[in-house]
Amino acid sequence: MVSNEPITVLERSICYRGLAEAYRSPAGGVGILDESWIPPPSENAKSEFLEAFAPAVSTTACALYQSAHSNREQTSLYEELIRWYDHFGLQRKAKAELPDHVSVELEFMHFLTYREHVSAGDEHALTTLRRAEKEFLTKHLHPFSVSILGHSETFANRYKYLCLEHELFVRLHLQDFGEI
């Protein structure tokens, strides 16, 4: 069932959270993401997930780190991302994923959009946040998502759809901004 109602900011934020979780573990995000959007994990999900996203074990896998998809030096990318997170008051936890992991970037978008949700009515805050979202998606998450999608041809169903829908979701979000 597809509804034509526009997505709310909070819904978008929860979608980002669900996508972040889906990239974190084989069955991540199942409590959040609708199965008609992202297929549920199969009984082989544990190995399918590694086959899709662990270059250490599979030559056809796609790395989920932006630095592996970019010509930039790893540390300069880390620095920029940490600066982004820091600018919005966030600090990486000691046992966290690396700052350029797709789940971390999605989590950051979850935070920005959540903040947008709670800032409803504060036009200055909303403009600031939307500008940041647009810039972050343009510079980081969207090109990264496109690159991930380019590797997904051979992935098991759930992960192929995850890459496809994630890219589409990010692209549509970008289109949503228009001129800020």
From 121, 123, 175, 179, residue interacting with another protein (rule: CB under 8 A): 175
- 3-class SS at 101? strand
CA 60 – CA 47 distance, rounded (Å): 13
Cβ atoms of residues 64 and 148 within 8 Å: yes
Scanning residues 74 to 93, which ones bind another protein (CB under 8 A)? 74-75, 78-80, 82-93
Question: Mask of contacts with another protein, 128-147, x by CB under 8 A?
Answer: xx-xx--xx--x--------
End-to-end alpha carbon distance in the chain: 32
Using the minimum distance from each CB to another protein, give the nearer residue, 100 or 149: 100
Using rule CB under 8 A, residue 121 touches another protein: no
Size of the site for another protein (CB under 8 A): 92
Binds another protein by CB under 8 A, chosen from 17, 102, 145, 155: 17
Residue with tokens 């995850």: 162
Question: Interface with another protein by CB under 8 A: which range of 40-48, 141-149, 156-164?
Answer: 40-48
Question: 116 and 126 in contact (C-beta within 8 Å)?
Answer: yes
Distance CA 98, CA 68 (A): 12
Residue whose entry in the numeric block shows the structure tokens 């998809």: 69
Taking the complex as a whole, the smallest distance from the CB of residue 18 to another protein amounts, in Å, to 7
Does 25 help bind another protein (rule: CB under 8 A)?
Answer: yes
Smallest gap from Cβ 140 to another protein, in A, equals 9
In single-letter form, the type of residue at position 61 comes to A
Binding of another protein at residue 150 (CB under 8 A)?
no
